[in-house]
Structure 1
Amino acid sequence: MHKLSKYCIGLIVFIFLYQSCDNNSSEQENWVNLLSKNNLDDWVVKIKGHPIGYNFNSTFKVEDSILKVDYSKYNDSFNNTFGHIYYKKPFSNYKLRLDYRFLDNQVADGEAWAYKNSGVMIHCEDPNSIGLDQGFPVSIEVQLLGGDGIKERPTANLCTPGTHVEMNNQLVTDHCINSSSETIHDTQWVHLEIEVNNDSIIKHFINGVKVMEYTKPIYGGEYSSEFTMALKGQPVKSGYISLQSESHPVEFKNIEILELLN
């Protein structure tokens, strides 16, 4: 082959590889740390029975860049004070990643199903619309569960408070659907990633493995709120992101988001 031709081919390959690496670097640079301030300034707390913005019993706190759901001030009485902490702005198309782990013991009077139970709520209704005694926002829940050392209990499941989704082109109205993940019994950090494409495909990943996929979320079903009743049957295209407090201590770190093009 002519030396000039070899040179041109080599140059083209170099440019392609350079652009590919540059694109990957750009994507990495666009990940935004949602706990960059190492405090709760960018987050809004809403706990059942309490007004928005009131962090009852200091349930949510940040220490050393870890967002902690803490029950040390509850005196063994949870009393169904389910809570959520919302990032300050809504999103539509994005990847969200974080690490989580369950710790210690559940509050004494917590529900049995809430043992090692938390969640990342996506496409949440506006926290300002949450009723005083409303336990859960209308949303899509990426349910996080830990094992008890014996029974199988997958994580990154799907729950649908006030919503429905489709799987395999079929409407699913069950409230919770298990993922294909393995059970994680101990207190290790678990890496979760969620890919959200508007009202199209939503995917859950645990430690890099896809464990759940569904499409076409719509408003409707159990736990609908006054705010969303009028939206029944309409697509859920965007919303807030929140993390749960359901009576078992849990920690979150490395909470990062990458917004995607529409």
Structure 2
Amino acid sequence: MNPQNMKAIKLIYFLTLISILTYSCQSPTNNKQEDGWTDLFNGKDLSGWKTVMGAADFQVEDDVIIGFAKANTPNTFLVTEEDYTDFILELDLKIENLSSNSGVMVRGQFDPSARDGNGLVYGYQIEADPTERAWSGGLYDEARRGWLYPLDLNPDAKSAFKMNEWNHYRIEAIGNEIKTWINGQEVSYVVDEMDTKGHIGLQVHSINNPDDEGNKTYFRNVRVKTENLDPKPFSSDLFVVNTTLNTLTDLEKDKGWKLLFNGESTDGWRAAYKDEIPSEGWQVKDGLLIIKASDGSESMTFGDIVTEEKYSAFDLAFDFKFSEGANSGVKYFVTLSENNVGSAIGLEYQILDDEKHPDAKMGLDGNRTLASLYDLIPAKKSGRFVKGPGEWNKGRVLVNTDNTVTHFLNGVKVLEYKRGSDEYRSKVAGSKYKIWEDFGEAEEGHILLQDHGDEVHFKNIKIKTLH
């Protein structure tokens, strides 16, 4: 063989060897594309992933990760070995059976020592919900706080997820904001500072019925971008769940939201029937607006406070924390025209310790319990969405321009009625409010925070005027 051919063969051999070594050293979880995206799934095996917590099986077939449901085992998660901080995640997900609840962990946490050494996954999970409830794309705080963004807060997005079809998820976790899309539709927006870093995970939910064993959940095209992030702005006027203290996002400001409490003073508030704030009882401390405990009586010690402004159609959100056995309320359409003794008259979002305060067992059919329209309409709520004494609850009152009113508790719709309707007036006629002419039907009124003699804390009070 002539020397030139020998050199050529050696060169080809050397280049081939370099190519093989380079390919073998590449991590399947670090397959970076020219546009800055990295494939987290190589389409062939589960390199870069590990299964934790439950005993459900994950397999790879035809460039797809398939999770197989297994009865009588905890939720099972396929999680990345690498942790991620700020990122944009995209993937496709398909569910074929109503029993196959699933989800995507973002900045997920794993404690291997929990549950007697069996491990526990917890943290932010973006839901995949095939049931009639249809909360896919909502944000659930797995094994910790529960639902942060139920889709009662964005009912238009309940139709985004398609059963038996591939659904494209886009999830942005940038700074303290987490935003989600399904099939291009804006779904949820949460501002929270609990976790800043963690794994990405795919869930096969636990099942109890052996007949559902083997049902499949499918995942494909799992990719992440961690540099030069280009967040996608929301265009719709969806509700933002913001757990940070007395702040508004740029989206909220653009859509007309305003803080009713700035966290530093009682500016914008005054005593009911007076021109200034009560001299005692109400205090601002550590960004909270607090009514101190007194004797448990209704507005007889320190007194209620009301907004200086009046509101007609509006969206009002507020966080509240009550002490054990406490009674209080947030009233709206308060006109201050009755000159009555005790608390000013108005429609009331009830704040109550249902377990310890006797008022919960009074009234009719529970219409004096937490989140109810006091003495008129009971709140239909599940215990899993109620936070007890010493815990923060999120309240919301939505009054539309057609006089339809909705109460929410921790993001879940608990009642709806229409001011001035025959049904509404019938309930008023059977209540303690029947002595007040046209009760609750004023065109506008103040927002009121009640002093009922018990300690209650408020924060994150915000309002948007509707037109």
| Distance change (3 Å), C-alpha of 1:261 and 1:129 | farther
Q: Name the residue aligned to 1:245.
A: 204
Q: Does 1:189 align with 2:166?
A: yes
Distance 1:215 1:163 in 2: 17
Secondary structure of 1:154's counterpart equals coil
Q: How does 1:199-218 map to 2 (within 5 A)?
A: 200-218=176-194
Q: Please identify the structure whose Cα radius of gyration is greater.
A: 2
Q: CA deviation at 1:139?
A: 1.0
User: After superposition, what is the alpha-carbon deviation per residue over 1:86-127, rounded to whole angstroms, capped at 9, x for unaligned?
Assistant: 111000111000011112x46xxxxxxxx2310001111146
Is 2:149–2:188's contact at 8 Å kept on the other side of the alignment?
no
1:60 to 58, 61, 74: 58
So what's the TM-score if we normalise by structure 1?
0.62
Secondary structure of 1:35's counterpart equals coil
Q: How does 1:111-130 map to 2 (within 5 A)?
A: 115-126=99-110, 128=112
Aligned length: 185
Letter in 2 for 1:208: G
Distance 1:157 1:124 in 2: 15
Is 1:97–1:255's contact at 8 Å kept on the other side of the alignment?
yes
Secondary structure of 1:217's counterpart equals coil
Secondary structure of 1:155's counterpart equals coil
User: After superposition, what is the alpha-carbon deviation per residue over 1:21-80, rounded to whole angstroms, capped at 9, x for unaligned?
Assistant: xxxxx99621111112520121011133xxxxxxx46x1011111010024xx5xxx013
User: After superposition, what is the alpha-carbon deviation per residue over 1:166-200, rounded to whole angstroms, capped at 9, x for unaligned?
Assistant: xxxxxxx75662263233453010000000013x1
User: After superposition, what is the alpha-carbon deviation per residue over 1:127-172, rounded to whole angstroms, capped at 9, x for unaligned?
Assistant: 64554444x512101011114xxx35131111112555xxxxxxxx
Percent identical among aligned pairs is 19
Secondary structure of 2:158's counterpart equals coil
Letter in 2 for 1:242: G
Distance 1:88 1:127 in 2: 14
Distance 1:195 1:141 in 2: 12
Secondary structure of 1:95's counterpart equals strand
The structure showing larger relative contact order (alpha-carbon pairs under 8 Å, at least 6 residues apart) is: 1
Q: How does 1:228-239 map to 2 (within 5 A)?
A: 236-239=195-198
Distance 2:114 2:47 in 1: 20
Q: Does 1:137 align with 2:134?
A: no
Q: Name the residue aligned to 1:102.
A: 95
Distance 2:125 2:77 in 1: 12
Is 2:60–2:66's contact at 8 Å kept on the other side of the alignment?
yes
Distance 1:182 1:176 in 2: 12
Distance 1:203 1:28 in 2: 25
Is 2:139–2:147's contact at 8 Å kept on the other side of the alignment?
no
**Which deviates the most, 201-210 or 29-38?**
29-38
Give the gaps of 5 or more residues in structure 2: 1-31, 208-214, 230-467
CA RMSD of aligned residues (A): 2.7
| Distance change (3 Å), C-alpha of 1:127 and 1:97 | farther
Is 1:93–1:196's contact at 8 Å kept on the other side of the alignment?
yes
Q: Name the residue aligned to 1:153.
A: 134
Distance 1:122 1:29 in 2: 22
Secondary structure of 1:182's counterpart equals helix
Is 1:156–1:212's contact at 8 Å kept on the other side of the alignment?
yes
Distance 1:156 1:137 in 2: 19
Give the gaps of 5 or more residues in structure 1: 1-25, 49-55, 107-114, 165-172, 219-235
So what's the TM-score if we normalise by structure 2?
0.36
Distance 1:33 1:129 in 2: 30
Q: Name the residue aligned to 1:5.
A: none
Q: Name the residue aligned to 2:268.
A: none
Q: Does 1:41 align with 2:47?
A: yes
Is 1:95–1:259's contact at 8 Å kept on the other side of the alignment?
yes
Distance 1:66 1:127 in 2: 28
Distance 2:113 2:184 in 1: 35
Distance 1:174 1:182 in 2: 16
Is 2:100–2:204's contact at 8 Å kept on the other side of the alignment?
no
